[in-house]
Amino acid sequence: MTAASTPTARVLLDRLAAIVGPEAVLNDPAELLVYECDGYVVEKKCPDVVVFPISTEQVAAIVKVCNEFDVPFVPRGAGTSLAGGCLPIGGGVMIALTQMKQILEINLRDRYAVVEPGLVNVHLTQQLKGTGYHYAPDPSSQGACTIGGNFATNSGGPHTLKYGVTVNHILGVEVVMPDGSVVTLGGPTEDVPGYDLTGLFVGSEGTLGICTKVTVRLTRDPAAFRTMLGVFETIDDATQTISNIIGAGIVPAALELMDQGIVSALEQAFHFGFPLDAGAVLLIEVDGLEVAVEEEAQKIISICHTTGAREVRQANTPKERQLLWKCRKQAFGAIGRLSPSYCTQDGVVPRTKLPEILRFITACSLKHDIRIVNVFHAGDGNIHPILLFDERDADQVRRVLEASDEILTKCIDLGGSVTGEHGIGVEKISFMNKLFTADDLAVMQQIHDCFNPTSRCSPGKMLPTSAGCGNEHVPRATPGRRAAM
Amino acid sequence: METFTPATQTELARFIAGNAGGPRRGLYPAGGRTALTVGSAGGAVNTLIDTTTLNRVVDYPARDMTVTVEAGIRIDDLQAILKEQGQRLPIDIAQSSRATLGGAIATNTSGPRRAGYGTFRDYVIGISAIDAAGRLFKGGGRVVKNVAGYDICKLLVGSQGTLAVISQVTLKLRPLPETSALLWLTFDTFGEVENALERLLVSDARPVAVEVLNAACARLISTQSRLELPAESPVLLLGVEGSPHEVDWQIEKLRREMVPYGVQLFEKVAATQTAGLWDALTEFPTSADEPATFQANLRPSRAMEFAQRATELGVAVQVHATTGIVIGQCPESVATIEQTTELLAELRQLACSASGNLSILHCDAEWQAVLPMWGAAEPGWPLMAQIKRKLDPHWVFNPVRFGDVSSPVESSGSRIESQKD
């Protein structure tokens, strides 16, 4: 993309302004700075222009103009991506969906809602309060992230073991395809004849098109909850407890594990009264019928004690439940006092391999002299090691990347994945060759080329752009992929 | 038609690669042959691929609640292995002693428990398959949370053997509940049932099955399961599972909630007959050979209206009421292809007016080439055809089956245009 002052660029800007109105076009460099990165702060690249459409027709028109001018474009929601999903590789037009944030329909009889992509996740569930239904996928960032972003990354959160991930709650979608055509996939009914294209598009990280309306499934509220917090000497005790809970035939609604590093940060910040030398704290929640959760809670407490829990706290009121959850929800806030910068990793291992990966992370931390604390969705093996550093120190940055790479590679070795919920984005493209064979990637590339042959839509995301000579993993020399092309 | 029975996934890949480089016969993946819609067009120049020897358990880490198996494993065999660990795949699959996992996934088979547990797209977390060029490819992985790459699992679930041969699957599992119970409620009219269904939306209980049967279906089901319960009017069946305590509590709750809604009879099915009734409900989609069995998908709020009309036309219907899926067996009186076409056209139009569609599960082999098996054209079909052309450019897999959607050469064929509302 040429600099914003060239004649072609001016024509493009005028065309965009004609679609969305001049006030919905941002191209002042100072204003664009806000959009230079998302939650993945180690890579920055400014788009050439950001536009704020308010309708499907506008989005389609913008895409057509981008095609006409051979300019790349990338959709963006709230920019909470932790993998560089919103990074505008090659510059171009950033299509911000944040002004399309309406709830278009709530249908309780048929149990669905139709929403625009810029709707903040938690707003939907807030709107449903009192109906007996909610929108199940609740990533930790749900106070900021958007449904469209959730759609693009197949977001998870703490409740996925029992309730599934975003794709399990999407019935249909309206998509502006990379060529600017508009298509409706799926719908308010289930089992729509034909391929599950809705399912294919969820998690496609913006590479197959831009969603402009999403039909989501509504989930019946659980009747009751029991929330407990177990304090353990060691992480191994905590993970053994998890294993025993599953072995007892209980599927908890949430199982969140926090290690000593996080616990001490939380204590300093919020004084929950946790022992600072506890190896791990495990937040356990079961939901369901009142009669069922009471039985399950008793079993769980007994299991905790058998594996040597120092103490087990139990919430007896909704307020106490909120308090127990607070320590999990404030975890990332508490990290701020530990270091100026942090990098949240997102890996997955089979649950039974949790002790092993955690031991590996500890060893990694020592090896690279980088402090790592752990908070994660233990129920489904989704780990979030948080690497603490100062981004002004180039050597620390290098060690963070090395440690991250080693951890993710170990996840693969243990039979897991390099991303449980944040997506491949830009950050993990180099891992695709380790997770998938050349044939696997060839099929994915074919699917990509079916709908996005020019790669103008979200270039440089998710798939390695070259087939690669051999499949060797090339360690990154600079933070992440090159952001400027 | 010839049959090829590979002993390993590698052998299968090699065979398909050889076919791609050579004769390019039509290939028809087959498992237990319980849901085959093979079609007779093409005849002897095609090859049936029998997957039933690919039936090994690859990995079963029970504490992870996942299992990886080859796709030719029979459903009953899989469930028996899982049961030893107190686990199950909570999807009801007809003819489970014959049906294979790959076939069930390719046809997206489901049954009464979909209300409480969902369908295959909620359980397939990893998949390996062989494409038309003989390439073995995979998507997903062995872990329940994984967003790396495109969701190939979703693409292949329900793809009806038209994109690839599914060779290996990783499933997410659930614990086996201690017990289950079925409640048989009779009503006078579908209107009354609709009111009851609305009440159930906010029931304190959490039934895992909510089935509505018209009298014709109820008679078939009660005969099949040797029940002696009234089947002269619409029947609402509620299934509950869990600990005995949970189950009993829910039964009492449901009794109290349903009483004001015109229930004629509220009967808990005897424990000795419950399993048989679950089976009968599961088998209904495959229990009739002729003339045709269909599946309609529509808004749950319109399902009773649809059931009413279908009843008037002599169709035996089973409604999965929470999801708006209707299974219908056409009456034997509808004997010719013309009559079948007319009946299905009317019901399809009704389904389309309820934001849905109607596809055919089983019919005479000769009719398959003529009837719209996949229903009225969906907006996504052109995209579907694009994927098909990309991944199977020579139309090798199940060529007849894809006929509704598109032909190798771009043409509208005999598709029915969508009348969706």
Which pLDDT does position B415 carry in this prediction? 44
Cis ω on the peptide bond leading into residue B393 (within 30° of 0)?
Answer: no
Say yes or no to pLDDT of B414 above 50: no
B158: closest chain A residue by CA: A195
Say yes or no to pLDDT of A8 above 70: yes
C-alpha to C-alpha distance for A436 and B126, rounded to whole angstroms: 12
The reply to whether residue B297 touches residue A417, judged by beta carbons under 8 angstroms, is no
Say if residues A462 and A423 touch (Cβ distance below 8 Å): yes
Comparing A224-333 with A339-413, is the CATH topology the same?
A: yes
End-to-end CA distance of chain B: 42
pLDDT tens profile A211-263: 999 999 999 999 999 999 999 999 889 988 998 998 888 999 999 999 998 88
Say if residues B132 and B16 touch (Cβ distance below 8 Å): yes
List of chain B residues whose C-beta atoms are within 8 Å of the C-beta of residue A185: 379-380, 383
H or E stretch at A122: helix A121-128
B 191-230 residues with CB < 8 A to A? 198, 201-202, 204-206
The reply to whether residue B384 touches residue A447, judged by beta carbons under 8 angstroms, is no
**Any chain A CB within 8 A of the CB of B368?**
no
Which pLDDT does position A257 carry in this prediction? 92
Residues facing residue A230 across a β-bridge: A282, A312
- Whether domain A339-413 has CATH 3.30.465.10: the reply is no
Between A276 and B252, the higher pLDDT residue: B252
CA distance A196 to chain B (A): 6
CA distance B367 to chain A (A): 19
| CB-closest option in A197, A352, A449 to B61 | A352
Residue that the structure tokens 């079948």 belong to: B340
Whole-Å CA distances, B152 to A133, A233, A322, B108, B156:
30, 41, 38, 15, 6
Residue contacts between A and B (CB atoms, under 8 Å) = 251
Across the range B97-126, mean pLDDT stands at 97
State residue A46 phi and psi, 5-degree precision: -85, 140
**Any chain A CB within 8 A of the CB of B154?**
yes
C-alpha to C-alpha distance for A387 and A340, rounded to whole angstroms: 11
Say yes or no to pLDDT of A283 above 50: yes
Residue A481's pLDDT band, with cuts at 50, 70 and 90, is very low
Whole-Å CA distances, A275 to B49, B247, B258:
62, 41, 51
C-alpha to C-alpha distance for A256 and B411, rounded to whole angstroms: 54
Say yes or no to pLDDT of A476 above 80: no
Say if residues A337 and A265 touch (Cβ distance below 8 Å): yes
Q: Give the per-residue SS3 of B161-216.
A: CCCCEEEEEEEECEECCCEEEEEEEECCCHHHHHHHHHHHCCCCCCCCEEEEECHH
| CB-closest option in A195, A249, A439 to B155 | A195
Amino acid at A287: D
Say if residues A90 and A1 touch (Cβ distance below 8 Å): yes
Whole-Å CA distances, B140 to A103, A199, B64, B235:
32, 13, 16, 41
Q: Residue B330 half-sphere exposure, CB side, CA atoms within 13 Å?
A: 29
Percent over 70 (pLDDT), chain B? 95
The reply to whether residue A444 touches residue B381, judged by beta carbons under 8 angstroms, is no
Tokens of B219: 């008679």
H or E stretch at A66: helix A56-68
Parse chain A into domains and list their residue ranges.
1-221, 224-333, 339-413
The reply to whether residue A289 touches residue B118, judged by beta carbons under 8 angstroms, is no
Parse chain B into domains and list their residue ranges.
2-175, 179-283, 288-369
- Whether domain B288-369 has CATH 3.30.70.2740: the reply is yes
DSSP for B86-133, written as a single string:
TEE-----TTTTT-BHHHHHHTT---TTHHHH--GGGTEEEEEEE-TT
User: A428, A199, A378: which is closest to B139 by C-alpha?
Assistant: A199
Q: How many helices (H) and strands (E) does chain A have?
A: 16, 20
Amino acid at A163: Y
Helical H segments across B240-393, by residue range: 244-258, 271-283, 303-312, 337-353, 381-391
**Any chain A CB within 8 A of the CB of B245?**
yes
Amino acid at A87: L
User: A242, A453, A265: which is closest to A342 by C-alpha?
Assistant: A265
E-strand ranges in A305-448 read 311-314, 341-344, 347-348, 371-377, 382-383, 385-389
User: B147, B148, B62, B59: which is closest to A351 by C-alpha?
Assistant: B62
Which pLDDT does position B65 carry in this prediction? 92
The reply to whether residue A193 touches residue B374, judged by beta carbons under 8 angstroms, is yes
User: B216, B261, B220, B331: which is closest to B238 by C-alpha?
Assistant: B261
Assigned CATH for A224-333: 3.30.70.2190
C-alpha to C-alpha distance for B247 and A252, rounded to whole angstroms: 19
Which pLDDT does position A38 carry in this prediction? 85
**Architecture in CATH of B179-283:** 2-Layer Sandwich (3.30)
The reply to whether residue B206 touches residue A220, judged by beta carbons under 8 angstroms, is yes
pLDDT tens profile A132-158: 999 999 988 888 999 999 999 999 988
The reply to whether residue B147 touches residue A420, judged by beta carbons under 8 angstroms, is yes
Which pLDDT does position A273 carry in this prediction? 81
Which pLDDT does position B37 carry in this prediction? 62
List of chain A residues whose C-beta atoms are within 8 Å of the C-beta of residue B62: 247
Across the range A15-20, mean pLDDT stands at 97
Say yes or no to pLDDT of B235 above 90: yes
* pLDDT, chain A, mean: 89
Sign for the CA dihedral angle at B58, B61, B62, B64 comes to negative
pLDDT tens profile B128-184: 999 999 999 999 999 988 889 999 999 999 999 999 999 999 999 999 999 999 999
* pLDDT, chain B, mean: 92
Residue A436's pLDDT band, with cuts at 50, 70 and 90, is very high
Which pLDDT does position B39 carry in this prediction? 42
3-state class of A302 per DSSP? helix
**Any chain A CB within 8 A of the CB of B10?**
no
CA distance B1 to chain A (A): 26
Which pLDDT does position A375 carry in this prediction? 85
Between B64 and B318, the higher pLDDT residue: B318
User: A79, A82, A15: which is closest to A49 by C-alpha?
Assistant: A15
The reply to whether residue A168 touches residue B118, judged by beta carbons under 8 angstroms, is yes
Whole-Å CA distances, A53 to A25, A59, A99, A116, A477:
9, 6, 7, 12, 38
Tokens of A319: 């307020």
C-alpha to C-alpha distance for B118 and B36, rounded to whole angstroms: 23
C-alpha to C-alpha distance for B253 and B234, rounded to whole angstroms: 21
**Any chain A CB within 8 A of the CB of B243?**
yes
pLDDT tens profile B353-390: 999 999 999 888 788 878 888 899 999 999 999 999 99
Question: CATH says B2-175 is which class?
Answer: alpha beta
- Whether domain A1-221 has CATH 3.40.50.720: the reply is no
Say if residues A1 and A71 touch (Cβ distance below 8 Å): yes
Amino acid at B41: A
Residue B282's pLDDT band, with cuts at 50, 70 and 90, is very high
State residue A174 phi and psi, 5-degree precision: -105, 130
Question: Which of A476-480, B257-261, B344-348 has the weakest average pLDDT?
Answer: A476-480
C-alpha to C-alpha distance for A125 and A136, rounded to whole angstroms: 8
The reply to whether residue B135 touches residue A443, judged by beta carbons under 8 angstroms, is yes
Say if residues B295 and B326 touch (Cβ distance below 8 Å): yes
CA distance B171 to chain A (A): 13
pLDDT tens profile A76-90: 999 888 888 888 888
Its ipTM equals 0.94
C-alpha to C-alpha distance for A403 and A396, rounded to whole angstroms: 10
CA distance B18 to chain A (A): 17
A159: closest chain B residue by CA: B145
Say yes or no to pLDDT of A280 above 60: yes
| CB-closest option in B121, B204, B405 to A199 | B121
Across the range A20-47, mean pLDDT stands at 87
| CB-closest option in B122, B155, B205 to A168 | B122
C-alpha to C-alpha distance for B395 and B382, rounded to whole angstroms: 16
The reply to whether residue B154 touches residue A167, judged by beta carbons under 8 angstroms, is yes
B205: closest chain A residue by CA: A289
| CB-closest option in A189, A291, A417 to B356 | A189
B403: closest chain A residue by CA: A194
CA distance B199 to chain A (A): 10
